[in-house]
Amino acid sequence: MDKVYNHAEFENEIYSLWEKSGAFTPKIDKKKKPFTIIMPPPNANDPLHIGHARFVAIEDVLVRYHRMKGEPTLWLPGSDHAGIETQYVFEKRLREQGKSRFDFDRDTLYKMIWDYVSDNTGLMETQLKKLGASCDWSRFKFTLDPKIVKIVYKTFKKLYDNDLIYRGERIVNYCPRCGTAFSQLEVNYIERDDNLYFINYGSLTIATTRPETIFADVAIAVNPNDKKNKSLIGRSAKIPLVDREIPIIADTLVDPSFGTGALKVTPGHDATDFEIGKKHKLQLISVIDAGGKMTNTPKKYIGLKAEVARIEVVKDLESKGLLVKTQKLHHTVGTCYRDKGLIEPTVSKQWFLKVKPLVAESLKAVQKGDVGFATKRYEKIARHWYKNLKDWNISRQIVWGIRIPAWRCNKCLEWTITDGSTPKECSSCKHNILSQDTDTFDTWFSSGQWPFATLQASNVGDFEYFYPTSVMETAYDILPFWVIRMIMLGLFTTGKVPFRRVLIHGLVRDKEGIKISKSKGNVINPIEMADKYGADALRMGLIWGALVENDSSLSEENIRGQRNFSNKIWNIARFVYQEKAKNKGSYKKAPASKNADDKKIIKDLKTTIKIVSKSLDKFRLNEGAEILYDFFWNKFANNYLEKTKNRREESQKVLEYTLQESLKLLHPFMPFVTEKVWQLEKERFDSPLLITSSWPGASSK
Ligand SMILES: [Zn+2]
Ligand SMILES: [Zn+2]
């Protein structure tokens, strides 16, 4: 053995050894209870960041531990098409080439993004392997696999048939020049100066930057805590030029310090007003059409472009003495990323999922403990989200995703919903010309079905055996988007919770406690660190010092420090291997000895086994790692080893036995170095592969 452990020389070789051995693929054994984790699928087109590395470290520790305990263990990997984010990144690349999405038809664009993602997805897999992820690659799933898509369609149809899907109105970021709605990510917010017009509404004055929309006003709102305007609540105001009367209502969303403190409520053309309108069940009026031209206004403005109409309306207000004053306003407006023109918030029809019945079932399951949160405070947060969840808008105006299986009749305009197949005729009037909705599902709608969809799309019998899964381990920030929706859709579709336990992990921060992000310039690249110090050192650094549920702090020094531990393991093995093997075959139990030092180390080992196992059962990974480190480095290496130097031969059996059991305990945390050490002299131990050896004390429970 070399003096120093050289991780770069061994890691790939060890990983292929595991892969070829079939250790990652569980054997279904109906007499045994399986242990299953469905991996939160990383974005298919992105390299892994340090947050991913944390989940890999945590989940792989659990998976290796349970595998060694003899449970049929499945860790199912996958990747996510990440709808909006991916399409956005792809379009940015197109722009760099002087092109845009509008240069291609839908199918071509989809195919181009598909190829782009396929080119990159291999990178993520290589990186997961690099970190030692012992997941079952034979069951790998992509969120757009045809089998997965089919299941997503089926769920949608079932929801629709159960009256849980409806068409509702929502305000979208619409560009009248491009003729399409954009996602929040695609809207460029810029600061600029505009005129703020103060207009006489009879009983009060209103300030607005958009006088052309006054014809779409349906109310005036003031903040109930606004002393100067409070007395107006319940009275009415008059829209100038048309003299239509509208009520004055109270809403806390109104900013009393803006303008006069009174807001004209225009639900058809403003996102906040839309919210207020929904809350107060106000009417919705649209005065700007899809082409950006005026409609539903007094005749003279109809057909004018909105910008032109604004000038005309201001002129008319002025001539009637209804324009009180004009001020400059410095504010933020949304602009189109393509043509830089103004985004026009527009109401459009979208697919919504009624969440109330699904939430009720989910809360019941949490209450009964069918699905338990490893950390109580996250359960509280989940409950909070459930209680405040609004109906879920599941349609997105992008092509990169699963297209909604809804067809509209060209004659009666009714919708026909299928489980994916193109309908031959309209389900309402039997007319045979229909066109499919161009929208795709929100990514979270399909990934919300991930635990059961992945298993149903895998081998025959997988779903029946591995579902409900054991643990859902994921990041704190997607608790509301993902975890609570998986419970809702899992319960609805399968009648069972998708997982028994939820383990939420905190953020990775730098050594000053600052969140790691590109914009802060404190990025720690996990692959670079693994290359430099070994995957084991990185994993240990990510586990060390903080409970899974808390934020952890990481620095290159931490990781470098853990590399010393890899070397320590290597060196202890070298020492043990100096003496010829004493007990070829195995150590099924501790060798008998009358020596006090031998007895002490075996006793300490037993205590360590107990504590580490308990820590892993309770997801207290860092506590297990820290106890183990102390046992191995201090009790075993520094203390016991020194004392054996003058009775080396006599102590060899205990040395070999303690090393064997320590390697097993260390394996989930530092899989590469422990397996390499094991492989070098595996005839000394009780299994040909460490990864599939049995956990200390597992059989004698
Ligand atoms: Zn545009
Ligand atoms: Zn029809």
Compute the residue count for the chain.
Answer: 701
**Own/partner long-range contacts of 366-374 (Cβ < 8 Å, ≥24 apart):** 366/487, 370/497, 370/500, 371/487, 371/497, 371/498, 371/499, 371/500, 371/501, 371/502, 372/500, 372/501, 372/502, 373/501, 373/502, 373/504, 374/501, 374/502, 374/503, 374/504, 374/548, 374/549, 374/619
Are 555 and 148 in contact, with CB atoms under 8 Å apart?
Answer: no
Query: In whole numbers, what is the pLDDT of the chain averaged over residues?
Result: 93
Residue 107 Cα to ligand 1 middle (Å): 21
Stated pTM of the model:
0.86
Is pLDDT of 456 > 80? yes
The CA 424 to ligand 2 mean position distance, Å, reads 11
pLDDT in tens, 78-124: 999 888 888 888 988 898 999 988 889 999 999 999 999 888 878 99
Q: Which of 388-392, 455-459, 650-654 has the lowest mean pLDDT?
A: 388-392
Look at the block and give the residue holding tokens 């994993």.
539
CB-side exposure of 432: number of CA atoms within 13 Å?
A: 1
Instruction: Tell me the residues surrounding ligand 1 (ion) with CB < 5 Å.
Output: 175, 177-178, 336, 338-339
Closest to 474 in 3D by CA, of 28, 62, 71, 31: 62
Of 210, 196, 217, the closest CA to residue 313 belongs to 210
- Give the residue-averaged pLDDT of 303-308: 94
| Other residues' Cβ atoms within 10 Å of the Cβ of residue 545 | 14
CA 402 to ligand 2 centroid distance, Å: 24
If DSSP states are collapsed to H, E and C, what string results for 321-363? CCEEEEEEEEEEEEEECCCCCECEEEEEEEEEECCHHHHHHHH
Q: What percent of the chain has pLDDT over 70?
A: 99
Separation between Cα atoms, residue 392 and residue 344, nearest integer Å? 23
8 Å CB contact between 604 and 657: no
- Of 66-80, 178-192, 241-255, 257-271, the range with the lowest mean pLDDT is 178-192
Q: Percent of the chain having pLDDT more than 90?
A: 77
Confidence of residue 701 (pLDDT cuts 50, 70, 90): very low
Ligand 2 mean position, distance from CA 442 (Å): 27
Taking the C-alpha atoms of residue 148 and residue 371, their distance in angstroms, rounded to an integer, is 24
The number of the ligand nearest the C-alpha atom of 423 reads 2
| Residue 411 CA to ligand 2 centre (angstroms) | 5
The torsion angles phi and psi of 642, rounded to 5 degrees, stand at: -55, -40
Burial class (CB within 10 angstroms; exposed 0-12, middle 13-18, buried 19+) of 440: buried
> Ligand 2 center to residue 426 CA distance, Å?
5
Q: Which of 601, 596, 597 is nearest to 660 (CA)?
A: 601
Q: Do 74 and 34 meet the contact criterion of CB atoms below 8 Å apart?
A: yes
Q: What pLDDT is attached to residue 177? A: 84
Contact 189, 336 (CB under 8 A): no
CA 432 to centroid of ligand 2, rounded, Å: 8
Averaging pLDDT over each range in 489-498, 546-555, 577-586, which range is the top one? Answer: 489-498
CA–centroid distance, 690 to ligand 1, in Å, is: 59
Which ligand has the nearest atom to the CA of 177?
A: 1
SS3 233: coil
Compute, in angstroms, the gap from residue 189 CA to the centroid of ligand 1: 13
Note the Cα 381 to chain centre separation in Å. Answer: 16
Nearest ligand to residue 100 Cα: 1
Q: Are 465 and 36 in contact (CB under 8 A)?
A: no
pLDDT of 176 above 70: yes
Distances (CA, A) of 177 to 90, 174, 184, 338: 22, 9, 17, 10
Q: What are the phi and psi torsion angles at 135 (to 5°)? A: -95, 160
CA distances (Å), origin 353, targets 99, 360, 694? 36, 14, 47
Is the pLDDT confidence value at 640 over 80? yes
Residues 6+ apart with CB under 8 A from 369: none
**Distance from residue 115's CA to the centre of ligand 1 (Å):** 26
Instruction: Please report the pLDDT score of residue 698 as a whole number.
Output: 62
Looking at residue 69, its pLDDT comes to 97
Residues 10-63: tens digit of each pLDDT: 999 999 999 999 999 999 999 999 999 999 999 888 888 999 999 999 999 999
Q: Residue 247: helix, strand or coil by DSSP?
A: strand
> Does position 405 have pLDDT exceeding 90, yes or no?
yes
Give yes or no for residue 612 having a pLDDT over 90.
yes
Smallest CA-to-CA distance from 441 within 405, 407, 395, 399 is with: 395
Helix (H) or strand (E) holding 499: strand 499-505
Cα 398 to middle of ligand 1, angstroms = 15
Q: Which ligand is nearest to the CA of 434?
A: 2
Could you tell me which residues are beta bridge partners of residue 553? Answer: 509
End-to-end CA distance of the chain: 36
Using alpha carbons, select from 443, 331, 467 the residue that is nearest to residue 37. 467
Contact 673, 569 (CB under 8 A): yes
